Amino acid sequence: MAIVPLQISGSAPAVAARPARPADPAAQAAARLPGQPRPEQMQEAVQQLQQAVAPVARSLQFSIDDATGKTVVRVVDSATQEVIRQMPSEEVLAVARALDRLQGLLIKGKA
């Protein structure tokens, strides 16, 4: 998962992932379900959420997993920057990534 720090003034650094979808806009649009927001809309929503909670919850970090597109919430120790809790966990994200790869292999096998 590629994570890029977001600097928000007056708060601990937040993180957000880069979109992992194909670079081609037509391929990105085809990969989305109807009504599903674009990756840049998701990124903007995560940034707005981070800014909204920063004054009261400096230990919360929001990001989007680039491989699965899932929103990730972390509770981080503000002194050590150690992740105390993450939802969904790394294990769940790893399973989701594996399922995405398996689904891709199945689709390629049928084509």
Is pLDDT above 70 for 10?
A: no
Q: Is the pLDDT score of 95 beyond 90?
A: yes
**HSE (side-chain half, CA atoms, 13 Å) at 105:** 6
Are 7 and 13 in contact by the 8 Å Cβ rule? The answer is yes
With CA atoms as reference, report the closest residue to 17 among 5, 7, 3.
3
- Mean pLDDT in residue range 65-84: 90
* pLDDT value of residue 32: 60
Based on its alpha-carbon atoms, the radius of gyration of the chain, rounded to whole angstroms, reads 16
Mean residue pLDDT across the chain: 75
pTM > 0.85: no
